[in-house]
Amino acid sequence: MSEAVPVLELRGITKEFPGILANDHVDFDLRRGEVHALLGENGAGKSTLMNVLYGLYRPDEGEIRIGGKPVVFHSSKDAIEHGIGMVHQHFMLIPVMTVAENIVLGDEPSENGVLLDYGAARGRVRELSRSFGFAIDPDALVQDITVGQQQRVEILKALYRRADILVLDEPTAVLTPQEAGELFEILRTLSREGLSIIFISHKLNEVLEIADRITVLRRGKLVDTLPAEGATEAGLARLMVGREVLLRVEKTAATPGEPLLKVVDLHVRDERGIEKVRGVSFEAHAGEIVGLAGVDGNGQTELIDALAGLKRPEAGRVELAGRDVTRDSVRAHFDDGFGHIPQDRQRHGLVLEFSIAENVALHEFRTAPDSRLGWLHPRTLIERARRLIREFDVRGGGPETHAGALSGGNQQKVILAREIDRDPRVLVAGQPTRGLDVGAIEFVHRRLVEERGEGRAILLVSLELDEILSLSDRILVLYEGEIVGEFPPTVSEEELGLAMTGGMHAEHAA
Amino acid sequence: MSETVRQLPEEQLPVSPSTLERYRILQKAGGLVAPLLTVVLAFLISGVVVLLTTGSVVDTAKTYKGIFDGTGLDWFFHVGSYQIGVPFTSARVWFPWNTNDISSQAAANLEQTLLLWTALVLVGLAVAFAFRCGLFNIGGQGQYLAGSIAAVLVATELPHVVDLPGVLLILVSVLGGMLAGAALAGIAGILKGTVGAHEVITTIMLNWIVIWVGSYLFDVGGPLQTKAAGAAGAVPASTDIPDKAQIHVFWGDPLFQGLDVGFFVAIASLVVYYLTLNRTTLGYEVRAVGHNPEAARYGGIGVARNYFLAMAIAGTFAGLAGALDLLGWKFREDITDIQSSSIGFIGIAVALLGRNTAIGVGLAALLFAALQTGTASRSLDPSIFPPELASSLAVIIQGLVVLFVGADVIILLALGWLRRRRPQKAATAT
């Protein structure tokens, strides 16, 4: 595998944005036929480096060499011409066009230079798809195929443009475990065919599974490039974060107490009148974390909304510590000991234009000592914020800093602080670590386990299987608005993945 | 790029805040600069209009000097040795400015400017308060008229029922005006909160309802037209309010639209506006809803309730303006005034230029009030600038100010864009 000349070399790449050194003399090389993982936390400079490679940014210093020859890219077009193909995290596909049309878009085979030769396009897509073992129908509309297949379309798009270097930006973020497994198979086939692959990720287990070599970036600097063989998750995490990180949350066995949250045969419709929650029943007890797993869009949002009082259920009952709260307002829920970490922290969890002090007062500002007779006491708000900032290690500002100025991890800490400080009996956490980096994830996880120890009932709704598996004491799987299975935390990812995609459901039905 | 900035590790964040925060800082820094620049630009471009009309630079300068003197703001520069009466006593003490509006034209002009300022502050606050809740209140005009109609009704009809002392009658009439404004705007708030009807549409429609109901009431033969001897059947206006319902004029002659104590009510309203928004739980809710209604809802704040409250409070300010104007210097409602008044719309410009802050609204109202009185035909030399064009000039300048207020965001964005371009160019050069 080791050749004299790497297919791609980045030498001393430096890219500075106002106030930030996004890449600081980064070296990177890619050998023919290898999968080279680029690992780092959010903001470590992975995306910047790849955007430099793809011609989207001009580096301030450094050079790019393809096959040993220095090149200068003025745009992504130049990069494509040099055989670089990029699969972005968010797909750049047109939903109403067919797979074949999407793939040839921008480089269409034509009749007489004017009309699209759809037959030729189809033929070439079919041929490509067959030679790399992609099971994909060129005539299907992109909007009708699964996310995993859409990703394959993106890969085909790059191959169609004769890419021999493929860059994948966080490719598994949108996939189920099964789909991720299929993607890895495809990547192995491609690398056997001689393609060189750059695999960007912040997930350690994936990187260890798929990569031949791993390059770790931290705060814009190259930390190390090492072979995947012999590397460990803990070792990589230390390189990424720069300190020891607890990957698996240390937790003792749960000692569940009385049931605090009881849901009985709940039915909820969404705005369009479609029934998204179809007869869900479960209990969460004091001192346990119940994980709710499921692929996005299977009724999680509607279920949480109904629990929080944001949405009236069609039928069914929600009990909070023995009290029926089904028809209570959002505010009444909070007053009755309900805590809620919304799934979308920027849209639903925080008023970004408000200061930290104002944000943490969201549930308390109406009552003394925050206010008396409708008159606010700003000093009380600020005192509380100062205490919570210390307690929850919120960095990047003081009580009067606007929430919008904080990083994602610190925004989430502000929400955690606000919800936990009210000593809720039930805490519903919707995707509490979405988009956070390893360090912040560790904090949120540790804190949730601590709160379990305080005797709260915690409902963890997450799309991340790792998170569900490492935190939950019991796991429920939500599929098409129904709970299709309950598992102990020792369940395998595969079994859970199967249930999440309806496998269990079919079994039940059979 | 903004993505990169936002995802930075926490330790580095104070040094490089998010795009949103940077924009906020920019706006804050531009807080005084941008509106000032806006006004200067508007005056410069209007100068071209004046230049084209008069055909001479000297005459343009004279016209602007005439406008300035017409505002009465030159009063502050005429320092001398005068006397002023001490309130509530008959004593007179030394004062550096001439408060006698008969011997000083500047004083008379300034009274006019401040009288208009009083109303503009209040209609400006009516727009600004709704704005802080994320609502665009175009209905200031209707709320203002509703306030003045209610005030005239109470002030003329109540004395038939019960004989109140003047101060009480004024108080009740003003409250009636505020309530009418609140009720009218509240309708738009309720519609927004319950069925989601857009407040721009509903407030505009409510404006027309008030204008035509008012016209009907006071028109010749209308149910509330004046019954005064001689006037009946001829004047499309209400009965005059009784003398005791007139608000005390503390500067100038009540017969010549002197400045009444409503002026101090406007100042107090600015303070009330600031305190309500920033120091009360109500203001907290209104601002939360204004910034992010979804987050407010998730936090348990009633969004619909706040839409109603914010509109009702906005209407209260506008209704107050209408009532004070009526009891302070109009003394009766007259349908030509109902149909031609546009003060509520200038209120929109005041709020925009004043960035919905108390101080901003106060300053912007002063600018627009001064413009209005300064371009009144009597303050311009007819041999230099045609008096019939004078009020158009005021509208041109106002229009330009509003245009540039909208553009200052573009200016800020352009500045940011230039700043981003520069490092890239530097990189290209190397």
- Rounded distance, CA A105 to CA A154, Å? 11
- 8 Å CB contact between B110 and B370: no
Strands A474-479 and A375-376 turn out to be unpaired
Torsion sign over Cα A380, A382, A387, A389? positive
- The nearest alpha carbon in chain B to A330 belongs to B300
Check residue B416 and give its pLDDT.
60
Q: Tell me B10's DSSP state.
A: G
A400 CB neighbours in chain B (<8 A) are: none
What order of strands is seen across the sheet that includes strand A196-201? A84-87, A165-169, A196-201, A35-39, A213-218, A221-227
Residue of B18, B281, B305, B430 to mutate, testing the A interface (most A Cβ within 10 Å of its Cβ): B281
Q: Helix, strand or coil for residue A173?
A: coil
- From A396, A422, A448, the end of a domain falls on A422
Whether ipTM > 0.90 holds is no
Q: Give the percent of chain A with pLDDT over 90.
A: 57
Are both A266 and A401 inside the same structural domain?
Answer: no
* A312 falls within a domain: yes
Are both A38 and A48 inside the same structural domain?
Answer: yes
* A273 falls within a domain: yes
What are the structure tokens assigned to B379, written together? Answer: 């303050």
B303 CB neighbours in chain A (<8 A) are: none
- The nearest alpha carbon in chain A to B12 belongs to A396
Alpha helix ranges (H) inside B235-342: 262-279, 281-291, 293-298, 303-325, 335-340
- Nearby residues of B399 by Cβ (< 8 Å), 6 or more positions away: none
Check residue B32 and give its pLDDT.
66
Q: Closest approach of chain B CAs to the CA of A488, in angstroms?
A: 32
Q: For the residues of B397-426, what is the DSSP string, one character each? A: HHHHHHHHHHHHHHHHHHHHHHHHHHHHHH
**pTM of the predicted protein model:** 0.78
Check residue B12 and give its pLDDT.
35
- The nearest alpha carbon in chain A to B14 belongs to A396
- The nearest alpha carbon in chain A to B4 belongs to A43
Check residue B423 and give its pLDDT.
52
Check residue B346 and give its pLDDT.
92
Check residue A509 and give its pLDDT.
42
Q: Does A17 touch chain B (CB under 8 A)?
A: yes
Are both A144 and A256 inside the same structural domain?
Answer: no
- Rounded distance, CA B391 to CA B375, Å? 6
- Cβ contacts below 8 Å, chain A against chain B, sum to 136
Which amino acid appears at position A351 of this protein? V
- Closest Cβ opposite residue B12 in set A20, A48, A375: A20
B1 CB neighbours in chain A (<8 A) are: 17
A362 CB neighbours in chain B (<8 A) are: 288, 299-301
Check residue B419 and give its pLDDT.
61
Are both A166 and A307 inside the same structural domain?
Answer: no
Give the model confidence (pLDDT) of A67-126 as tens digits.
889 999 988 889 999 999 999 877 888 989 999 989 988 777 777 777 778 888 888 888
CA atoms within 13 A on the CB side of A97: 13
Per residue, what are the HEC states of A356-415? HHHHHCCCCCCCCCCEECCEECHHHHHHHHHHHHHHCCCCCCCCCCEHHHCCHHHHHHHH
Check residue A271 and give its pLDDT.
85
Strands A474-479 and A482-487 turn out to be antiparallel
Using pLDDT thresholds of 50, 70 and 90, give the confidence band for residue A296. Answer: confident
Q: Does A383 touch chain B (CB under 8 A)?
A: no
Pairwise CB contact (< 8 Å): B291 & A352: yes
Check residue B421 and give its pLDDT.
61
- Closest Cβ opposite residue A405 in set B17, B294, B419: B17
Give the model confidence (pLDDT) of A31-66 as tens digits.
999 999 999 887 788 888 998 999 988 899 999 999
Say which residue, B103 or A303, is predicted with more confidence.
A303
Q: Closest approach of chain B CAs to the CA of A290, in angstroms?
A: 22
Provide the residue range defining the domain that includes A492. Answer: 249-337+424-510
Are both A124 and A232 inside the same structural domain?
Answer: yes
Using pLDDT thresholds of 50, 70 and 90, give the confidence band for residue A279. Answer: very high
- From A241, A262, A297, the end of a domain falls on A241
- Rounded distance, CA A12 to CA A125, Å? 38
- 8 Å CB contact between A30 and A22: no
Say which residue, A508 or A181, is predicted with more confidence.
A181
* A446 falls within a domain: yes
- Closest Cβ opposite residue A349 in set B280, B295, B301: B295
- Rounded distance, CA B276 to CA B189, Å? 18
Using pLDDT thresholds of 50, 70 and 90, give the confidence band for residue A205. Answer: confident
A38: nearest Cα among A265, A254, A277, A206: A206
Are both A287 and A407 inside the same structural domain?
Answer: no
Are both A368 and A220 inside the same structural domain?
Answer: no
Check residue B72 and give its pLDDT.
87
- Nearby residues of A411 by Cβ (< 8 Å), 6 or more positions away: A345, A346, A349, A350, A403
Integer Rg of chain A from CA: 25
Q: Give the percent of chain A with pLDDT over 70.
A: 97
Comparing A257-266, A481-490, B89-98, B305-314, which segment has the lowest mean pLDDT?
B89-98
- Closest Cβ opposite residue A219 in set B9, B287, B299: B9
Q: Which of A140-154, A233-247, B10-24 has the highest mean pLDDT?
A: A140-154
Pairwise CB contact (< 8 Å): B423 & A397: no
Check residue B402 and give its pLDDT.
78
Helix or strand (DSSP H, E) at B126 = helix B105-132
Average pLDDT over residues A385-397: 91
Are both A176 and A266 inside the same structural domain?
Answer: no
Q: Which positions 190-209 of A are in contact with B (Cβ < 8 Å)?
A: none
Check residue A508 and give its pLDDT.
47
Are both A352 and A435 inside the same structural domain?
Answer: no
Give the model confidence (pLDDT) of A421-431 as tens digits.
999 999 999 99
Check residue B429 and give its pLDDT.
43
What are the structure tokens assigned to B327, written together? Answer: 């009891």
- From A392, A422, A452, the end of a domain falls on A422
* A1 falls within a domain: no
Query: Partners of A29 in the beta sheet?
Result: A9
Check residue B26 and give its pLDDT.
52
Check residue B417 and give its pLDDT.
66
Are both A179 and A218 inside the same structural domain?
Answer: yes
A171: nearest Cα among A205, A128, A202, A133: A202
**Number of domains present in the structure of chain A:** 3
Check residue B176 and give its pLDDT.
98
- The nearest alpha carbon in chain B to A343 belongs to B298
A43 CB neighbours in chain B (<8 A) are: 4, 7-9
Are both A280 and A402 inside the same structural domain?
Answer: no
Comparing A299-313, A395-409, B82-96, which segment has the lowest mean pLDDT?
B82-96
| Tens place of pLDDT per residue across chain B (430 aa) | 333 333 333 333 333 344 444 555 555 555 666 777 778 888 888 888 888 888 888 888 888 888 888 888 888 888 888 888 777 778 888 888 888 877 888 888 899 999 999 999 999 999 999 999 999 999 999 999 999 999 999 999 999 999 999 999 999 999 999 999 999 999 999 999 999 999 999 999 999 999 999 999 998 888 888 877 665 567 888 989 999 999 998 888 877 788 999 999 999 999 999 999 999 999 999 999 999 999 999 999 999 999 999 999 999 999 999 999 999 999 999 999 999 999 999 999 999 888 899 999 999 999 999 988 888 766 677 777 777 777 788 888 888 887 877 666 666 666 566 666 655 544 444 3
- 8 Å CB contact between B215 and B354: no
Given a cut of 90, is residue A468 above it in pLDDT? yes
Torsion sign over Cα B5, B7, B12, B18? positive
Check residue A457 and give its pLDDT.
96
Given a cut of 80, is residue A4 above it in pLDDT? no
Check residue B406 and give its pLDDT.
67
Give the domain CATH number at A505. 3.40.50.300
